[in-house]
Structure 1
């Protein structure tokens, strides 16, 4: 006889197969995966693609602000370091900050959204009031204040972006939880004596996770843009180069006014491509996971 675990595994494989079949039918989603896959490979193999010693200012031997050449395809910065080396290693930092901050935002937003939708009365009012406060306060000033107070470091930037990016997820999850809460199987679980924790983790959470994942992928692009903005404003980690770090140095050294395009365009193009990749993937996930959108393909 087939065990219950084997049946569950078979259902999961069938679900993943069906999901991939629907996903690959969207050319934009495949394009987003290809772009993102390229940058992920660059981040993983960054030490092999560019020697990390090239990040050390004391070991830079090339002239400062040098135009692209055979030895330095993207020129050099104000310290004589290769822009290409900074760009490759900056890929790792930008993706790390974007993904880590998104995980924090997803955990906080999902937890608050599920509780706000599941409970009623004072609990829901307090949680919604907290979400409203974060939604009303403009993101950039709040992030700048928090980054200034905590100090410029990689961990602090991740915390700042994560803590200020969860309200949208919470609102989305709360609305979906209110719908799930009224379904018949929730009434049966409650009648059988299931605890609130059991209902939220076993019934509500699995039903809202597909929507959360589609929204979270879009949040990653916002987190990467936020990291670029904060680093450009000089609030990033000065010891770890990122794309925003490169743009900040380009601005502070006058590269934009001196027509040093090799200092400005490469990191800007990388930011645009990664944000585009996550946006394409997020839109495709939304179309695949939302039954209402499947009919409009």
Structure 2
């Protein structure tokens, strides 16, 4: 049985990749993420932490782009190439961890609300509606301001405030799955709530969760940059958001130091677009209606 299950999984993955390759935009987004992710993972191999020090930076503060420093230097004299590449480590980590927290909470509450009716569904929906009414950024800012500023605070603030959309989608999918005949047969054969949710509902909901995860990472990276720009993150950590915050503090806009603003801003836009392209491609593969279009 185990061998058969693995064969089915391999065939499913092969079929998924064949369908995914047909989406050119999805391939472009995946290629961008592979390149940026590879640079972020291997950054310690070619970037010294001493070059990122605010006190021992190798270049002059606000040095313009040159043959030695392609993108110039920031307000401390750190190479903007090194800062941008190293900042990807924090920004991507926050994006993935916050999205994992958000999707996990949303998927759990969505399945519970779709499976259990009555007071459980009512309570989950009312809490979800309350979070949906409040602006996510304002709520995340308020939560981050109460807790100690830092990367963990930003992750918790984004994860706790961005799950309602996933919960709504998963609940709707759960209701659709539980209306199918094989769920009634499973119950007739003695399957309990735990069996139905884990063996029937969850596998059918996971494709939607996967697509939602990919799309949510882009929003989490933007939220991290926003919170860091507002001073809610750890200023000693190099991320795209803290780089933009430093540019604001030193008045890079009014001074015309565009090379301090442009690299992290472009990096955020490119990564967000790449995740969106990948998410749309995955959604098209997993959704037969979109695939037909």
Shorter-chain TM-score: what band?
over 0.9
| Pick aligned residue for 2:132 from 132, 135, 141 | 135
CA distance in 2, matches of 1:197, 1:131: 23
CA distance in 2, matches of 1:247, 1:191: 59
User: Does the CA-based 8 Å contact 2:106-2:167 persist in structure 1?
Assistant: yes
Aligned to 2:71: 74
State the Cα distance separating 1:83 from its structure 2 match.
Answer: 1.6
| Pick aligned residue for 1:233 from 221, 230, 234 | 230
Per-residue CA deviation, residues 169-200 of structure 1 (Å, 9 max, x unaligned), is 00000000001111111111111221211111
State the Cα distance separating 1:295 from its structure 2 match.
Answer: 1.1
Aligned to 1:181: 178
State the Cα distance separating 1:249 from its structure 2 match.
Answer: 0.6
Aligned to 1:277: 274
CA distance in 1, matches of 2:35, 2:57: 28
User: Does the CA-based 8 Å contact 1:287-1:294 persist in structure 2?
Assistant: yes
User: Does the CA-based 8 Å contact 1:49-1:88 persist in structure 2?
Assistant: no
User: Secondary structure of 1:58's match?
Assistant: coil
| Pick aligned residue for 1:162 from 159, 181, 187 | 159
Per-residue CA deviation, residues 77-99 of structure 1 (Å, 9 max, x unaligned), is 22222222211110100000000
| Pick aligned residue for 1:110 from 102, 107, 110 | 107
Counting only pairs closer than 5 Å after superposition, residues 1-297 of structure 1 correspond to structure 2 as 4-296=1-293
User: Secondary structure of 1:257's match?
Assistant: helix
State the Cα distance separating 1:65 from its structure 2 match.
Answer: 1.0
| RMSD of aligned Cα (Å) | 0.9
CA distance in 2, matches of 1:152, 1:74: 29
Q: How many residues align?
A: 293
Q: Which segments of 5 or more consecutive residues in structure 2 lack a partner in the other structure?
A: none
State the Cα distance separating 1:261 from its structure 2 match.
Answer: 1.1
Query: Please, which moves more after superposition, 218-227 or 189-198?
Result: 189-198
State the Cα distance separating 1:9 from its structure 2 match.
Answer: 1.0
CA distance in 2, matches of 1:294, 1:21: 12
Give the TM-score of the pair, scaled to structure 1.
Answer: 0.97
User: Does the CA-based 8 Å contact 2:285-2:291 persist in structure 1?
Assistant: yes
State the Cα distance separating 1:215 from its structure 2 match.
Answer: 1.2
User: Does the CA-based 8 Å contact 1:60-1:79 persist in structure 2?
Assistant: yes
State the Cα distance separating 1:75 from its structure 2 match.
Answer: 1.4
CA distance in 1, matches of 2:72, 2:46: 16
State the Cα distance separating 1:62 from its structure 2 match.
Answer: 2.3
CA distance in 2, matches of 1:193, 1:53: 63
Per-residue CA deviation, residues 144-181 of structure 1 (Å, 9 max, x unaligned), is 10000012111111111111111000000000000111
